[in-house]
Structure 1
Amino acid sequence: MTDKTIFTVNDMTCGHCVGTVRKALEEALPGAEISVDLDTHKVSFTGDRAKGEEAIREAGYTPEAV
């Protein structure tokens, strides 16, 4: 079983933000399980933690470790 990484992304404020973060993670981590929850501002994914964090930052958001 692959470990899941969870970040809080408080500057994710709308549906467009959710789509942007999801797309960035899908491109950086092909085949990863990805969950983006606007209500809780939580983003979780499987795969390389550093690549995922970098993808979120490059998309313009600030991931904070949970």
Structure 2
Amino acid sequence: MSEKTIFHVEDMSCGHCEKTIRQALIEALPNAAVDMDLTGQTVSVAGDAAMARAAIAGAGYTPVAARH
């Protein structure tokens, strides 16, 4: 099982943002488990954290690793 990384994505503000980020993560990490909380502006990814961060940033958003 891959380690889960939680990103705070402050500029994820609507359903379109959520869909765009989810699609970017699916393309970059097809088998990764992705959970999103639009209200809390968090994205949780079980998979390669660096690739996930790059995918979110590549989609035009600003991922910041959340403290555990």
- Scaled by the length of structure 2, the TM-score of the pair is 0.93
2:6 counterpart residue number: 6
Q: Distance in 1 between matches of 2:42 and 2:56?
A: 12
Pairing 1:34–2:34 present = yes
RMSD over equivalenced CA pairs, Å = 0.6
1:56 counterpart residue number: 56
**Residues 27-50 of structure 1: per-residue CA shift (max 9 Å, x gap):** 000111001110000000111110
Q: Tell me which stretches of 4 or more aligned residues in structure 1 moved more than 2 Å.
A: none
Give the CA deviation at 1:65. 1.0
Q: Distance in 2 between matches of 1:8 and 1:2?
A: 19
- Scaled by the length of structure 1, the TM-score of the pair is 0.96
SS where residue 5 of structure 1 aligns?
Answer: strand
Taking only the aligned residue pairs, the percentage that are identical comes to: 55
Mapping for residues 14-29 of structure 1, pairs under 5 Å: 14-29=14-29
- 5+ long unaligned stretches in structure 1: none
Q: Distance in 2 between matches of 1:57 and 1:16?
A: 15
